[in-house]
């Protein structure tokens, strides 16, 4: 599941002002601009004179399909005030890369070029400013830079985290600009309503694998995509998120803490050891109901007569039911949400499972119709009845589900 697929048209209707200050990370701004346009945004690029030393306005114009602004004296604006007009038009200003010098100027309220002018002149209440720092590790760690970053946050800007790794100077450490897809995720997240701010959400995702021997086991077709989408949506909504993931090969949603497990018993241990931190538990994982009573130490060989091996099964722990039965869930400190992947009679089975598990909200879907896909259709079941969420991308459905969870918690 690629981030660019997830983010298709997620910025539709948004106008983004993309600012470039001087730094080698300007080369990443070209791909970032392409991703923003692909996500449905219109992009207006503004470059400093130093940025033009690293990448040309022609490149950014071709990618944004809009003329690039580089000077506060640009005569194309009828009133000769691009520093006013450009900021008023934007839904958000994203400066990537944001150099140490640019951050210092903004922290001190100084402006020496069009980009810093429009950042200072933007309407604070309606035009958010996101800064993606990019600099040498010593520059980033310098007390002055850290003071400036803290001051910018205090003044209402959003200073994004820095990446870690090899730097153009040959050194290694903090200070790299985030990758374009990471910046895209940060911007998309910024526009999402923070309905779970202050909450800690624990999510399970994917299948479990119950070993029969060192090479075989019992599992299912769950891809984990729905659970990962829920984790991402919860983080976008302002929550701290822990994701307990079965054996899947999916990138961890940005800002989410991931715990990898294999078996149902491992997932049970990971969840129960973290429930005390959570205010919301979303059990999206397709946990195996049974496991082999004992896993063979060596590969089970085929018998000469072709007879299948005799494998005894035992029941796995019921993670959702156990979570819903905790004292914190009973007294309203833990909101539990279950998932049901059915093959038929969805409403009937989902209602029965909600009652059996004792959870306030059960989310049902038809498993064979969604396993491995990027889209889904959900049925919400609570004490008042059922509500269908129509088919759509799993990221969109996950955001809708997060809103429904927040509404029920408040209600």
Q: Helices (DSSP H) in 239-391: which residue ranges?
A: 264-272, 319-324, 327-330, 346-357, 367-370
Of the candidates 173, 230, 205, the one whose C-alpha atom is nearest the C-alpha of residue 393 is 230
Of the candidates 276, 246, 280, the one whose C-alpha atom is nearest the C-alpha of residue 260 is 246
The reply to whether 336 belongs to the active site is no
Q: Which of 26, 33, 119, 169 is catalytic?
A: 169
Distant-in-sequence, close-in-space partners of 82: CB < 8 Å, separation ≥ 6: 69, 72, 74, 76, 114, 118
**3-state secondary structure (DSSP) of residue 137:** helix
**3-state secondary structure (DSSP) of residue 52:** helix
Please say whether the beta carbons of 385 and 351 come within 8 A. Answer: no
Instruction: Show the tokens assigned to 1.
Output: 């599941």
DSSP sequence for 366-411: EHHHHTT-SEEEEEEEETTEEEEEEEEEHHHHHHHHHHHHHHHHH-
Helix axes 180-190, 26-38, angle to 10 degrees: 50
State the virtual CA torsion across 371, 373, 374, 380 in degrees, nearest 10: -40
Count CA atoms within 13 Å of residue 304 on its CB side: 0
Residues forming the active site: 169
């Amino acid at each position: 599941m690629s981030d660019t697929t997830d983010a298709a048209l997620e910025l539709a209707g948004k106008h983004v002002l993309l600012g470039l200050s001087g730094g080698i990370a300007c080369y990443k701004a070209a791909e970032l601009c392409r991703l923003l346009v692909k996500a449905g945004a219109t992009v207006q690029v503004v470059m400093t004179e130093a940025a033009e030393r690293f990448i040309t306005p022609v490149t950014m114009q071709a990618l944004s399909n809009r003329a690039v602004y580089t000077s506060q004296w640009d005569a194309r604006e009828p009133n000769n005030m691009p520093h006013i007009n450009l900021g008023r038009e934007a839904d958000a200003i994203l400066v990537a890369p944001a150099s140490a010098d640019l951050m210092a100027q903004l922290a001190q309220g100084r402006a020496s070029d069009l980009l810093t002018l429009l950042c200072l002149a933007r309407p604070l209440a309606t035009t958010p400013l996101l800064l993606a720092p990019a600099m040498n590790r010593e520059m980033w760690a310098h007390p002055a830079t850290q003071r400036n970053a803290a001051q910018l946050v205090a003044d209402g800007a959003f200073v994004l985290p820095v990446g870690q790794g090899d730097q153009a100077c040959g050194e290694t450490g903090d200070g790299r600009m985030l990758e374009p897809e990471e910046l895209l995720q940060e911007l998309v997240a910024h526009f999402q309503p923070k309905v779970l701010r202050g909450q800690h959400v624990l999510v399970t995702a994917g299948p479990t694998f119950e070993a029969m021997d060192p090479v075989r086991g019992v599992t299912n077709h769950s891809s984990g995509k729905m659970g990962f989408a829920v984790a991402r949506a919860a983080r976008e909504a302002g929550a701290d998120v822990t994701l307990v993931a079965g054996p899947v090969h999916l990138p961890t949603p940005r800002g989410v803490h991931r715990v990898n497990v294999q078996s149902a018993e491992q997932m049970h241990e990971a969840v129960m050891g973290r429930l005390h931190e959570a205010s919301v538990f979303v059990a999206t994982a397709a946990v195996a109901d049974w496991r082999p009573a004992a896993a063979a130490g060596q590969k089970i060989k085929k018998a000469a007569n072709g007879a299948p091996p005799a494998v005894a099964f035992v029941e796995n722990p019921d993670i959702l039911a156990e979570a819903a039965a905790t004292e914190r869930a009973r007294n309203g400190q833990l909101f539990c949400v279950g998932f049901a992947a059915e093959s038929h009679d969805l409403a009937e089975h989902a209602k029965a499972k909600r009652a059996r598990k004792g959870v306030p909200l059960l989310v049902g879907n038809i498993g064979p119709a969604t396993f491995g896909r990027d889209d889904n259709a959900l049925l919400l079941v609570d004490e008042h009845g059922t509500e269908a969420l129509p088919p759509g991308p799993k990221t969109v459905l996950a955001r809708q589900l997060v809103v429904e969870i927040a509404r029920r918690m408040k209600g």
